């Protein structure tokens, strides 16, 4: 999937550094395909070149930021069913899939759509473009991901509800430790394995 997506953009696999700076990849499912696409493309969440869209579809979109060209590559269910036809001698179903995918044409394994992807400046790689403070919990929200209600900014968990519940702040011994001050009875040198003075 990733190799086809890169080929459609005329990128190498893995992309060269200049190509990587132009690439954004959208993954639509949190399964092994996501890991494979991230590995082959070298796209990363932390670089903001990998975007996760939780659609439950085995698909990925490959976008060239410079040209605006984008292709959505969708895995076909038929490719699983046809695997045995490509390697009839293989009796193990999983092994048949692995071997058949090496020789199966892209046109059997995937559907491809040319798509248009609209991004805002807040979606692009680079430094944080805006910060907002949630009026309810005080959390900083970056890059336009805040919700506005009655002219006030809220983080999405406060505005819509979160995937977690019953959040409680916790503390642990030394959680406030800093090399810039010592806590009563503790010393920075002692933390470094040296005798405390």
The dihedrals phi and psi of 2, each to the nearest 5 degrees, come to -65, -40
Residue 2, helix vs strand vs coil = helix
**Dihedral sign, Cα of residue 121, residue 126, residue 130, residue 132:** positive
Contact 63, 41 (CB under 8 A): no
Residue 98, helix vs strand vs coil = helix
The structure's pTM equals 0.81
Contact 58, 33 (CB under 8 A): yes
pLDDT at 173: 79
Query: What secondary structure letter does DSSP report for 59?
Result: E
- Give the Cα-Cα-Cα angle 113, 114, 118 (nearest 5 degrees): 120
Residue spans per domain, the chain: 2-123, 127-165
d(CA 2, CA 8): 10
pLDDT tens figures, 151-192: 999 999 999 999 999 988 888 777 777 777 655 555 544 444
d(CA 152, CA 158): 12
Q: For 2-123, CATH number?
A: 3.30.1330.130
pLDDT tens for the chain, 197 residues: list them. Answer: 999 999 999 999 999 999 999 999 999 999 999 999 999 999 999 999 999 999 999 999 999 999 999 999 999 998 888 888 899 998 898 898 889 988 999 999 999 999 999 999 999 999 999 999 999 999 999 999 999 999 999 999 999 999 999 988 888 777 777 777 655 555 544 444 444 44
Dihedral, 26, 31, 37, 39 alpha carbons, nearest 10? 130
Query: What secondary structure letter does DSSP report for 68?
Result: -
pLDDT at 187: 53
pLDDT at 174: 76
pLDDT at 188: 47
Hey, what CATH topology would domain 127-165 get?
Wheat Germ Agglutinin (Isolectin 2); domain 1 (3.30.60)
**DSSP string spanning 104-146?**
S-HHHHEEEEE------GGGSSSS---EEE-TTT--EEETT--
Contact 43, 49 (CB under 8 A): yes
The dihedrals phi and psi of 7, each to the nearest 5 degrees, come to -60, -40
pLDDT at 189: 47
pLDDT at 149: 95
d(CA 73, CA 67): 18
């Amino acid at each position: 999937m990733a190799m086809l997506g890169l080929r459609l953009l005329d990128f190498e696999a893995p992309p060269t550094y200049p190509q990587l700076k132009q690439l954004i990849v959208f993954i639509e499912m949190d399964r092994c395909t996501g890991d494979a696409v991230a590995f082959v493309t070298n796209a990363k969440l932390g670089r903001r070149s990998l975007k996760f869209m939780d659609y439950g579809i085995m698909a990925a979109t490959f976008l060239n930021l410079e040209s605006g060209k984008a292709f959505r590559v969708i895995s076909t269910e038929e490719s699983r069913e046809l695997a045995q036809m490509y390697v009839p001698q293989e009796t193990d179903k999983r092994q048949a899939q692995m071997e058949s995918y090496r020789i199966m044409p892209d046109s059997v394994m995937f559907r491809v759509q040319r798509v248009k992807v609209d991004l805002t400046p807040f979606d692009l790689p680079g430094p944080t473009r805006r910060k907002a403070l949630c009026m309810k919990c005080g959390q900083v929200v970056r890059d336009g991901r805040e919700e506005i209600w009655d002219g006030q900014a809220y983080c999405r968990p406060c505005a819509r509800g979160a995937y977690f519940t019953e959040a409680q702040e916790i503390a642990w011994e030394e959680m406030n430790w800093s090399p810039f001050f010592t806590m009563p009875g503790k010393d920075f040198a002692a933390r470094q394995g040296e005798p405390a003075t």
